Amino acid sequence: TPVEQRRFIVGIIVDETKDETIIERMKTDDYKIFKLPKSVQSVYTTFPFNSVFSVSIANSRVPSRLAYFIETNKLDAHPFIEIYEPTLIHYFVPLSNYENYNVPEMISESS
């Protein structure tokens, strides 16, 4: 799929110091390792994660409302990032350092 047509990547967030076993297992299974940059100013919201339906409802509501907020306030913000926890879905869209949030595959294919 051309990079311009890609909509998302999927991953797992692990603690480098506490989850070394998981990281090694993922490397063995050919998963790519990518470090998220430190948090910057961003547009941020959450949505309750109560069941599998929460994902569908959130994805039909939250991104469009965040996009509307960004456009209305004339912000330069991207990419959209979702992080799932047991009871919350976090949505954030960085207001700077955008390129630091692109995984290496996206960067190499877009240049």
Q: What is the pLDDT of residues 32-58, one digit of tens each?
A: 888 888 877 999 999 999 999 999 999
What residue ranges in 15-105 does DSSP mark as E strands? 42-48, 81-84, 88-94
- Percentage of the chain lying above the pLDDT 90 cut: 50
CB atoms closer than 10 angstroms to residue 58? 20
- Given its phi and psi angles, is residue 97 left (phi above 0), alpha (psi -120 to 50 degrees) or beta? left
* The predicted structure's pLDDT at residue 7: 61
Owner of token pair 């797992």: 12
Q: Which of 27, 42, 32 is nearest to 78 (CA)?
A: 42
Q: Which domain does 74 fall in, by range?
A: 3-110
Collapsing DSSP states into helix, strand and coil, what is residue 96?
coil
Number of domains in the chain: 1
pLDDT band for position 6 (cuts 50, 70, 90): low
- Predicted local confidence at residue 68, as pLDDT: 96
**What tens digit of pLDDT does each residue of 12-27 get?**
888 888 888 999 999 9
Residues 1-6: what's their mean pLDDT? 58
